[in-house]
């Protein structure tokens, strides 16, 4: 199984995330839409954990002068998490 090579967007099943218009935009952007299962809010756990860690490690610990500086720091953090950071798993 190879690594995913395009962007993943994860959401719950709110009406704004299940519209045909959004699906077309996601498809046109060649993104993959990941959605929680009905009644299973636990599906959001991994993404909530990621955003919590990102916020703590990159946002609260640093002051950014511009949006571009913040965007660059987030991109660097995602590359770091994907390629270098060791994450414990139960495999």
Domain ranges of the chain: 8-39, 41-85
Reported in sequence order, the residue ranges of the chain that DSSP labels E, i.e. its strands, are 8-11, 32-35
Which residues neighbour 59 within 8 Å (Cβ) at sequence distance 6 or greater?
70
Q: What percent of the chain has pLDDT over 70?
A: 79
Q: How confident is the model at residue 89 (pLDDT cuts 50, 70, 90)?
A: low
CA distance 56 to 60: 5
Q: How confident is the model at residue 19 (pLDDT cuts 50, 70, 90)?
A: confident
Q: Answer whether 55's CB lies under 8 Å from 32's CB.
A: no
pLDDT in tens, 44-85: 777 778 888 888 888 888 889 999 999 999 898 888 887 776
CA distance 91 to 72: 32
Phi-psi region of 30 (alpha: psi -120 to 50; beta: other; left: phi over 0): left
């Amino acid at each position: 199984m190879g690594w995913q090579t395009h962007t993943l967007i994860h959401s719950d099943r709110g009406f704004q995330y299940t519209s045909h218009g959004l699906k077309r935009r996601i498809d046109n952007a060649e993104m993959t839409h990941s959605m929680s299962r009905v009644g299973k809010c636990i599906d959001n756990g991994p993404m909530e954990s990621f955003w919590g860690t990102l916020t703590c490690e990159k946002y609260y610990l640093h002051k950014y002068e511009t949006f571009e500086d913040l965007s660059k720091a987030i991109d660097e953090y995602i590359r770091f998490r994907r390629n270098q950071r060791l994450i414990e798993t139960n495999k």
